[in-house]
Structure 1
């Protein structure tokens, strides 16, 4: 495995690094206070092509492979997580379904506008009765001639306020359980589509999560994504594909926190010497660095495996689980190293601490990742010992 990045990716990462440091970080406090990404920042991100990372070049995107995307996501993770989530969700679960599963007509219709950020993408699976149990969705789709009529609701849908294109899961045959779920490409302008309230969240300000309501929503048959009954499998593929990228964003945030913590520990003097000379502080920094390097190795290995077309169900669950847990541990230590100032809202450390918590929940909880890993271990054992 060679994780050396091509020169064009190295150059892109440097551009993103400069953008994050010079443009996003100076307004991070405004994003936090106003719960809104400044128009200038969004416009600049569009001009840089940051909304087309996952979209092939023939449709106007950058067409990065997973290793390249992870490198960019790592840089984006070093700033306000609301902005990072806004961009990351669009490039991940918001668009990957159409890229990987859409037919040529669907790709031609949606991907060019999504590549420029003119149309933002979102993924609508979660419902009040279907969180970790994704197969328990109740939203129903009934075919009537050349259209499907969809009724139901979704909640906690990231990017719902800004998105124009949604990958929506609905039940087309209740008698078949998970095999009766179908996926659809839905535009917000379709009759019967209603965006509900924006949820007030503990963190990720600037990234908006909303309810969606479908009231006799009319979706053309040509907007079905794949065949009927493939929706649940599609959803799992989309989520699996995005897990390395999510972990890469966590990696960037962890590196940001370590850098800030080392700087603070070098400059903060207590008992007549910098606190980095206190063994307890130095050990915390060392533990942070150790876990970050382990996460970095795992992120790029899983990304490489994905690019090789390998089965990464287990490894993707592992990196999502490990990335989330490491981020939370690193954020906790960063607050401790900073002491009282780490708890003050005027400084960014407490914001990252709050933002870290959702990573153990969204796009598959830590507990669900353990279930996936365990199920794969059982399959591997059975294959090894029984050949089945």
Structure 2
């Protein structure tokens, strides 16, 4: 199968060239996927967007009602195999549905993500045949809703440190679960909990499927008062010797931590999808307002200060789409390859997503931060009106804030992305040592003074991406060499290296998407997309310069520091600096003319 030759493994984007024709872009959606997208948009515009005010007033019943309607349409079972009453669609389509159902309000986005992801998926991917037949059809159709009980007062990012206990009954037929879980999304209307507890003094926690029955030692705290996602049910869940049949253990004893981590990998890339349509809708609302709002006898959309904001917002969204769907198709292809090789659906899906855990963490960080920035600038474009609860900006800003926290905080994900990459290198799955050594040799040699031909579209930009990869290899390679296994204790260095890694993946994704579309549709049709790819790369270079200096100064001194700083300067130097203001104007003029996000 040709896919096997062209698909890069997780993390390999850093050391292997990816060709434009080998990546998937939103312009590659099939007719079936476009129909699915349009039906989800129609559902959101009918059931969710007109009711934004009710969602802000903690109308939990409305969230449950919308979820039931989504279940009736099959939207809750997109990723569930047909054998369990799902639609059995591929990973890209599941991303697509998550993307477009999440844009109108964070309350529904959270309920949907918690139910379809961490509420249903652990049973689908780790359950026995009996467990899947019993629970998954009800979850796929919205007859039942799921929730995921992992976090505890003393166990957040350190998920394996939970104190909830599972004690085997004397007759050996039940486990008695006792403990406290907090920040549990969907708790108020969940029928089934995925609960993590520790058996005896096991090193790792164990997963259980627990039906919600108040008569069985289960009680709920009051709804939490939150900054945003007001109609997302979030409660504490208390278990007091809750009887759970032994056959409801999920996977094997002590496998809970693995289940939790793999669920989070999927959750992270789905969270990036859930932030996309939120950005599109905010941009559209902001542009409509900017076109209508007249000051000094001129629509404010004509002012350079507003153009700058519109261009940056649109660029961030375009870049995020490019990277999210690139990774989604890589995962889908890897799942297909594993199934062809004889893996079960469960194994193929688990290993397919796990392969791209680095990219999942990258996307979670980048897209959630772009979403927060977009809502912030949306408020700014609305001015004083943006601060009012009567406009959609204020609620969107508050809803966006949680995305940097759940599915693992952005700080945890930054450190994970680099940590996982280094572990892959240690296992020989990604060759970092060879390219890092080559970069070191290059720094010791005489730089080339040849003048390359930059007449081909993106030739300089793609050369810049390769240089940025060298900058990462130089910084990360030297960090590993200096600190070895203790590198994980140097969190600020890891975070600086991670920011470099994130910028590379996002910038390359936007360039490859645009190059692919320019080749098939013509450069003249991609003028604004070309501008966005170039504008984003400019920002990436600036950030990598800053983070590179920060990292180098933390571990290198004297001649070594001077050599590495010279290398960093060489790897971030443009031959032809782009005209950033002209790029922004090109983008903003298109968006304001269309009166919406239009890419």
Normalising TM by the smaller chain, what interval? over 0.9
Alignment partner of 2:241: what SS?
A: strand
Cα shift at 1:43:
4.1
- Which structure dedicates a bigger proportion of its chain to helix? 2
Alignment partner of 2:194: what SS?
A: strand
Q: Which residue of 2 aligns with 1:151?
A: 178
Cα shift at 1:88:
2.1
- How big is the alpha-carbon RMSD for the aligned residues of Structure 1 and Structure 2? 1.6
In structure 1, how many angstroms separate the alpha carbons of the residues matched to 2:271 and 2:65?
25
Q: Which residue of 2 aligns with 1:238?
A: 263
- Tell whether 2:414 aligns with 1:364: no
Q: Which residue of 1 aligns with 2:164?
A: 139
1:113-137 deviations in Å (ceiling 9; x for gaps): 1111111011110000001111111
- Which structure dedicates a bigger proportion of its chain to strand? 1
Matched-pair contact (CA < 8 Å) for 1:314–1:373: yes
Give 1:255's match in structure 2, choosing from 280, 289, 295.
280
Matched-pair contact (CA < 8 Å) for 1:66–1:245: no
Cα shift at 1:51:
1.9
Alignment partner of 2:226: what SS?
A: coil
1:52-92 deviations in Å (ceiling 9; x for gaps): 22221111112222210111122112212112221221111
Number of aligned residue pairs: give it.
384
Cα shift at 1:385:
6.2
In structure 2, how many angstroms separate the alpha carbons of the residues matched to 1:202 and 1:187?
30
Deviates more, 1:36-45 or 1:212-221: 36-45
Matched-pair contact (CA < 8 Å) for 2:24–2:326: no
In structure 1, how many angstroms separate the alpha carbons of the residues matched to 2:421 and 2:112?
33
Q: Which residue of 2 aligns with 1:167?
A: 194
1:141-177 deviations in Å (ceiling 9; x for gaps): 122202111111100000011111111111114252x
- Structure 2-normalised TM-score? 0.62
User: Larger radius of gyration, structure 1 or 2?
Assistant: 2
Q: Which residue of 1 aligns with 2:307?
A: 282
Cα shift at 1:305:
2.2
- Structure 1-normalised TM-score? 0.95
In structure 2, how many angstroms separate the alpha carbons of the residues matched to 1:264 and 1:290?
19
Cα gap change, 1:385 to 1:40, in 2 (>3 Å): closer
Give 1:125's match in structure 2, choosing from 131, 150, 160.
150
In structure 1, how many angstroms separate the alpha carbons of the residues matched to 2:424 and 2:197?
32
Q: Which residue of 1 aligns with 2:24?
A: 2
What does residue range 29-178 of structure 1 map to in structure 2 within 5 Å? 29-38=53-62, 41-144=66-169, 145-176=172-203
1:317-369 deviations in Å (ceiling 9; x for gaps): 11111111111111111111111111100111100000011111111100110
In structure 2, how many angstroms separate the alpha carbons of the residues matched to 1:5 and 1:37?
34
- Tell whether 2:242 aligns with 1:198: no
1:201-224 deviations in Å (ceiling 9; x for gaps): 111011111101110111111100
In structure 2, how many angstroms separate the alpha carbons of the residues matched to 1:349 and 1:44?
26
- Tell whether 2:398 aligns with 1:354: yes
Q: Which residue of 1 aligns with 2:205?
A: 181
Q: Which residue of 1 aligns with 2:586?
A: none
Deviates more, 1:71-80 or 1:230-239: 71-80
Q: Which residue of 2 aligns with 1:324?
A: 368
Q: Which residue of 2 aligns with 1:273?
A: 298
Cα gap change, 1:216 to 1:241, in 2 (>3 Å): same
Give 1:300's match in structure 2, choosing from 321, 325, 330.
325
**Structure 2 residues not aligned, in runs of 5+:** 1-22, 336-351, 435-599
